[in-house]
Amino acid sequence: MTNEPWLYRISCESEKQLTEHMSVPSNGGLKVDFHTHTADDPEETIRYSSRELIDKAQRLGFDAICITNHNAVSADGYLRDYASERDIVLIPGVEIDIRGKHVLVINAREDILKASSFDDLRRLRTPECLVIAPHPYFPGTSSLRGKMWKNIDIFDAIEFSWFYHRYINFNAFAVRMAAKRGLPVIGTSDCHSLSRFGRTYSLVEAEKDAGSIVEAVRAGRVEIVASPLNLIELGMHGVEHLVSVSMGTVKKLFSGGSK
């Protein structure tokens, strides 16, 4: 077995939905990453700018990306123009804290930042946005776990995270949940380091604009390309993540904390 990318075809009709195939895009879809972070993140210490991320997305042939910094919508007009000049659709997004749990909102408006509870999220979400459950069963207090099931009506899709090994894969629980609820699964890099970007992503069968991409995901026209980490990579990135979380906690304390 190699660690070359594999294509995961997602069909939410049964728990057998997750099958491995060689990484040849079957739908000719748009290459999209729905979960990334940059130096504009107010709660994480990220060492690369939004422009650097967009530049790498261009080099790797991405059609669209979503910058989902914590509790901030960072895709301003300048960045959208910068991305457009490189033939990339920059979709505004946010990874918002809801009662200490992380939730992704794609194609987000600033109003969504007012949400501090799941009921707020129900009230403030719009038909134009996607609400995604990120890394719902991973270790860590920010993972949704049972809160996702309790509020499953809010979610349009569930994330398949880049951080996994063939035999150590917390995504498996998320895939089972998606199968039970008939929800699409999207692949993301949850990029906190440029070396992660492009490791896992989604192929979306849609026109190349934010609205079409959102509708296509909601309709289930999405597949995942993912590369499992080896054990050394898993350990190294795990330590890196712990350091990043610790630095982010310190940053939040000095900035007055989050909601």
**74-101 residue pLDDT tens:** 999 999 999 999 999 999 999 999 999 9
Q: Is residue 137 part of a domain?
A: yes
With tokens 């993140």, the residue in question is 41
Domain with 160 in it: what CATH number?
Answer: 3.20.20.140
Contact criterion met (CB below 8 Å) for 223 and 10: yes
pLDDT of residue 235: 80
Query: Hey, what's the torsion of the CAs at 153, 204, 108, 244, to 10 degrees?
Result: 90
Buried b / exposed e across 151-180, counting CB within 10 Å, b at 16+? beebbbbbbbbbbbeeeebebeebbebbbe
User: Containing domain of residue 71, as a range?
Assistant: 6-254
With tokens 């070359």, the residue in question is 4
pLDDT of residue 234: 81
Which residues of the chain have a pLDDT value below 70?
1-27, 237-239, 241-259
pLDDT of residue 233: 84
Q: Is residue 259 part of a domain?
A: no
The predicted model scores a pTM of 0.85
pLDDT of residue 17: 38
Q: Is 184 exposed, middle or buried (0-12, 13-18, 19+ CB in 10 A)?
A: buried
Sequence-separated (6 or more) residues with CB below 8 Å from residue 47: 39, 193
pLDDT of residue 2: 41
Q: How many domains does the chain have?
A: 1
pLDDT of residue 19: 34
Please give the structure tokens belonging to residue 95.
Answer: 């990874």
For 222-239, the pLDDT digits (tens) are 999 998 888 888 887 666
Q: Is residue 131 part of a domain?
A: yes
Length of the chain in terms of residues written? 259
H or E element, residue 211:
helix 210-218
Q: Is residue 139 part of a domain?
A: yes
Q: Is residue 1 part of a domain?
A: no
pLDDT of residue 27: 54
Q: Is residue 72 part of a domain?
A: yes
Q: Is residue 175 part of a domain?
A: yes
